[in-house]
Amino acid sequence: MQSVTVRAPAKVNLQLSVGPAAADGFHELATVFHAVSLFDDVVATAAEDVTVSLENPDPTVPLDGDNLAARAAHALAAHTGTDAGVHLRLVKRIPVAAGMAGGSADAAAALVACDALWGTGLSRDELSELGAELGSDVPFALMGGTAIGTGRGTLLSPVLARGEFHWVFAVAEDGLSTPAVYRECDRLRERSGVPVPDLATDEALMAALRAGDAKAVGAALSNDLQEAAISLQPALAQTLGAAVELGALGAVVSGSGPTVAFLVRSSEAGLDVAVGLTAMGLCRDVKRAGSPAPGAKVVTVARV
Ligand code: ATP
């Protein structure tokens, strides 16, 4: 029997601009996705049905048909008309409910793994279209690198980015629900009465990425959901406030939070920031990563 292992990256949004809520509750976005070297692995082996297991059990991750990896396998089976099953073993390293799109990474990895295992031969564009129906971050987890996302974040165009970057992630004690953070953003906006600005990609960020200028990228990091995430988890303000003291180039809440991403000068500087954050006792876990990272790809095909 064959097993296919696919690795998919976490993401941080270097820019996350959020438009007004549409009637269906979704928000139009202008975002800059950036893949970082924190990876989940999905190991797919042939099975009767679609089943999921976790290498490290976690009560907050569903093991039934609600798991995004299982949903991806069902979606691919329905799309291609195959009656094959699969067992998906998830090796999760991306923090859960942390704003780093771990579930979406698993969905992307499961699409690529099942496509290889079942020999369904879909193109990357076809997988991306299927992925967009599973979640707004799935197409980017397939693509990796750096990309502008518009619409719900599923319309992607690659960004020219030079150089390598170094990150430290402060993972908060409790997760945040993405829909709850968007609702809080709407509530705060309504209360302030300030009109929502038109969506546009930040030209200073684009220039900084083209130049590979980490200092300028650090200065340009932005996230419209940050205020809402802080409103729901006030301790995040303290974590963000530690950036200057720790010598980071910039800090921003990652996606809908509550992880705070610190951009740092070098891998060594990242170690100092990680030690400092741990000493401050502001977060549950600290992770270090480099970027940009590649999108979901097969890393091993083995006979088992
Ligand atoms: P988003 O992609 O919406 O920003 P997130 O990165 O903040 O989400 P995820 O780690 O994707 O958070 O998890 C969000 C929720 O999705 C979890 O609380 C869990 O209940 C559910 N979930 C379903 N499948 C998975 C999966 N494979 N891995 C992690 N969570 C999953």
pLDDT per residue as tens digits for the range 148-200: 999 999 999 999 999 999 999 999 988 899 999 999 999 999 999 988 889 99
213 carries an active-site annotation: no
Please tell me which residue in 11, 92, 106, 115 is annotated as part of the active site: 11
Distance between CA atoms of residues 193 and 215, nearest Å: 34
pLDDT of 200: 95
Distance between CA atoms of residues 294 and 146, nearest Å: 9
Which residue puts its alpha carbon closest to atom 15 of ligand 1?
Answer: 97
Q: Which residue has the tokens 């089976």?
A: 77
CB neighbours (10 Å) of residue 188?
14
- Pairing status of strand 155-158 against strand 146-151: antiparallel
Which residue puts its alpha carbon closest to atom 18 of ligand 1?
Answer: 97
DSSP bridge partners of 33: 13, 147
Q: Which tokens go with 199?
A: 């969506």
Which residue puts its alpha carbon closest to atom 26 of ligand 1?
Answer: 103
pLDDT per residue as tens digits for the range 48-67: 999 999 999 999 999 999 99
Q: Which residues contact 165 (CB under 8 A, 6 or more apart)?
A: 34, 214, 217, 263, 290, 291, 292
pLDDT of 296: 98
224 carries an active-site annotation: no
List of the chain residues with pLDDT < 70: none
Please tell me which residue in 41, 106, 115, 137 is annotated as part of the active site: 137
